[in-house]
Structure 1
Amino acid sequence: MLDKILYNTILCQTFSPCGKYLVAGNIYGQLAVFDLDRILNPVIELLTSDYNKPKQIHKIESGKQICSLITTDSFLIIGTINEITGWDWKAVTSGKWSKPAWTITIPVKSSMEQSDVNSLWLSEDEIKLFAGCGDNNIYAFNLEDGRLVTTYEGHSDYIHSIHGKSQQLISAGEDGLVLLWDERTGKSHSRLEPHANSKVSRPDIGKWVGAATLGDDWIVCGGGPRLSLWHLRSLDPVTAFDIADHGVHVAFFHDDCIVAGGASKHLYQLSYSGEVRVELPVSATTVYSAAMKTNPKVLAIAGSSSEIDLCTTFNYRDQVLHFR
């Protein structure tokens, strides 16, 4: 029988609120829970050969792929296909895994329609949960009662990425658009089309945009088009990054640099002007997720592999975790 785990793909990761656990979700509906205390601060006398494997592996009842993860103080929130579920953190980490504490159903038009919840984002006050979906829409739900508050319509193909800051939302899609939205009204007020810009266009890879993130004054985005930095107010491109990738799936700001990865042998840390500060080798052939926390420092890198690279300095790989 074919061992599916050899062809594992990890699409998403998040940390527990206490920072002691890393959680990763894969395409087989499995959720791996890693005990970071045991991995990063081992007691040598008690160390076993499986120390870098999951403490728990849970299985989503539907078996649908886990597309996105996000956390609140109380819940691990999982985006799959056509639904979002919230799981009590105690159940996740203790192994008492049974049923979700709550479920939100994506408003698809028919039971036959499959809408992946590709990206999740929480409002800064943690009242609203945003979901970027495979039916081209972004949905905002009230976390108190699961009620659909707003539907953001503007993309013509499925959404890869959403991110928010200061009551603005940014989304990136397969249609090649990066849209800026007013979080309160649900209306798009600005748009970028990176594939239409000669500095960043890569027609051989495609027009899709896999990641877009808001900073205080900047937007970073990439996909088929090159990773690029844009001025938020003028929407002018400032830097086109020259990195060896065949598509970008991860891009975000950290301190005074940009972290980015995708179909490449490395995860990059870049200055705003384009200088490569760190070129970090990765286990995955394509990076789909890079989860970071800063106290204490941990960077977890995952993608088309059963291995997760763990870094505590952000400059080199300390450990390799095994999702198996």
Structure 2
Amino acid sequence: MLDKILYNTVLCQTFSPCGKYLVAGNIYGQLAVFDLDCILNPNTELLTPGYNSPKHIHKIESSSQICSLASTDRFLIVGSVNEIYGWTWKAILNSKLSKPSWTIKIKSESFIEQCDINCLWLSEDSEKLYAGCGDNKVYVFNLEDGSLMQTLAGHENYVHCIHGHDRQLISAGEDGLVLLWDIRTGKAQNEIEPHKNSKVARPDIGKWVGAAALGDDWIVCGGGPRLALWHLRSLDAVTVFDIPDHGIHIASFLDDCILAGGTAKHLYQLTYSGDIRVELPVSSTTVYSAIVRTNPNKVLAIAGSSPDIDLCTTFNYRDQVLHFR
């Protein structure tokens, strides 16, 4: 019988508040906890062959895939299927996982039975949790009591990603829409349909948008359409990035550049003008998660359709490979 973990796909990652641990979630309902202190600063005299393997692997009770992760100072937040769980970090770092401290059930108004919580984003004050879901909606929850505060309805197919900045929220979905929301009113103010723009459209890959992020004056997004930088006010595509990919799943702003990846052999760091600054080889054939930590030191963790997670401390090359198995 084949070992299914060899065909592992890691959909999401997050760092602990102290920055010393990395947690990754996979399609088998498992949470892997890696001790970054031991991995990045190993004692060579005590080094064992499994030093780059998880300290713990927890399995959630439902065994549903782990679609998304987020972190507050106190809780690890886990988005699965139909439910969002919260565990204290103390519980996550124990060898045996207890029951979650709290659970939020997604009560979808649609007829779908399985509603994936594809993406999570915390407000800057960590008081509100935004969840982009498989029923085409974005839900806003009060983390104090778990109550539903708003439902953002505007997508016609499931939501792939959400990101917020300066009282605005951006969402992107399978329907090819990129929506800009006013967080205060819960209303969509503007929209982009990249697949209708001849500069970025790729009909052979599809109209879906897998990643979108907001900056001070810019939007970066891509998916089936090519990765592009859009001006926030004019909503014009200013830069179209010429990278060899077959679909974008990761796009974010990192310092003075753009971090992007997907179905490609590399994770890219790109200038706003379109130049490739870093072309970083990755273990996965498709990257679904790339997260950055700056304290206590800089770390970039890259995961996707592989049991291996790439760890980079300079952001220019791969220092370590972690094994989720």
Change (3 A) 1:281 1:66: same
Aligned to 2:232: 232
Instruction: For 1:313 and 1:237, locate their aligned partners in 2 and report how far apart those are by CA, in whole Å.
Output: 30
Instruction: For 1:18 and 1:125, locate their aligned partners in 2 and report how far apart those are by CA, in whole Å.
Output: 18
How far the C-alpha of 1:255 sits from its partner, in A, is 0.6
Aligned to 2:172: 172
How far the C-alpha of 1:112 sits from its partner, in A, is 6.1
Aligned to 2:258: 258
User: Residue 112 of structure 2 contacts residue 135 of structure 2 at CA under 8 Å; is this kept in 1?
Assistant: no
Instruction: For 2:162 and 2:264, locate their aligned partners in 1 and report how far apart those are by CA, in whole Å.
Output: 22
Secondary structure of 2:93 counterpart: helix
Aligned to 1:134: 134
With the length of structure 2 as denominator, give the TM-score of the two structures.
Answer: 0.99
How far the C-alpha of 1:61 sits from its partner, in A, is 0.5
Instruction: For 2:108 and 2:237, locate their aligned partners in 1 and report how far apart those are by CA, in whole Å.
Output: 36
User: Residue 219 of structure 2 contacts residue 230 of structure 2 at CA under 8 Å; is this kept in 1?
Assistant: yes
Residue 124 of structure 1 aligns with an amino acid whose one-letter code is: E
Aligned to 1:91: 91
Taking the TM superposition and a 5 Å limit, the aligned residue runs for 1:135-154 are 135-154=135-154
Instruction: For 2:294 and 2:274, locate their aligned partners in 1 and report how far apart those are by CA, in whole Å.
Output: 24
Q: 2:70 matched to 1:70?
A: yes
Aligned to 1:50: 50
Quote the sequence identity (%): 75
Instruction: For 1:182 and 1:110, locate their aligned partners in 2 and report how far apart those are by CA, in whole Å.
Output: 24
Instruction: For 2:111 and 2:271, locate their aligned partners in 1 and report how far apart those are by CA, in whole Å.
Output: 46
Secondary structure of 2:37 counterpart: helix
Instruction: For 2:147 and 2:294, locate their aligned partners in 1 and report how far apart those are by CA, in whole Å.
Output: 33
Instruction: For 1:109 and 1:238, locate their aligned partners in 2 and report how far apart those are by CA, in whole Å.
Output: 38
Taking the TM superposition and a 5 Å limit, the aligned residue runs for 1:1-324 are 1-109=1-109, 113-295=113-295, 296-324=297-325
How far the C-alpha of 1:196 sits from its partner, in A, is 0.4
How far the C-alpha of 1:2 sits from its partner, in A, is 2.2
Change (3 A) 1:195 1:5: same
With the length of structure 1 as denominator, give the TM-score of the two structures.
Answer: 0.99
Give a deviation string over 1:101-132, Cα, whole Å, max 9, x none: 00000112479611100000011111110000
Residue 286 of structure 2 aligns with an amino acid whose one-letter code is: T
Give a deviation string over 1:3-32, Cα, whole Å, max 9, x none: 110110000000000000000000000000
Listed as ranges, the gaps of 5+ residues in structure 1 are: none
Secondary structure of 2:70 counterpart: strand
How far the C-alpha of 1:84 sits from its partner, in A, is 0.3
Instruction: For 1:42 and 1:6, locate their aligned partners in 2 and report how far apart those are by CA, in whole Å.
Output: 26
Listed as ranges, the gaps of 5+ residues in structure 2 are: none
Give a deviation string over 1:75-117, Cα, whole Å, max 9, x none: 0000000010000101111224110000000112479611100
Give a deviation string over 1:128-183, Cα, whole Å, max 9, x none: 10000000000000000000000000000000000001111000000000000011
Residue 252 of structure 1 aligns with an amino acid whose one-letter code is: S
How far the C-alpha of 1:185 sits from its partner, in A, is 1.1
* Number of residue equivalences: 324
Secondary structure of 1:45 counterpart: helix
RMSD of the alignment, in Å? 0.9
Secondary structure of 2:124 counterpart: coil
Instruction: For 1:230 and 1:109, locate their aligned partners in 2 and report how far apart those are by CA, in whole Å.
Output: 33
Instruction: For 2:153 and 2:95, locate their aligned partners in 1 and report how far apart those are by CA, in whole Å.
Output: 39
Instruction: For 1:257 and 1:94, locate their aligned partners in 2 and report how far apart those are by CA, in whole Å.
Output: 37
Instruction: For 1:134 and 1:165, locate their aligned partners in 2 and report how far apart those are by CA, in whole Å.
Output: 23
Residue 200 of structure 2 aligns with an amino acid whose one-letter code is: V
Secondary structure of 2:210 counterpart: strand
Give a deviation string over 1:224-283, Cα, whole Å, max 9, x none: 000000000111110000000000000000010000000000000000000000000000
User: Residue 68 of structure 2 contacts residue 118 of structure 2 at CA under 8 Å; is this kept in 1?
Assistant: yes
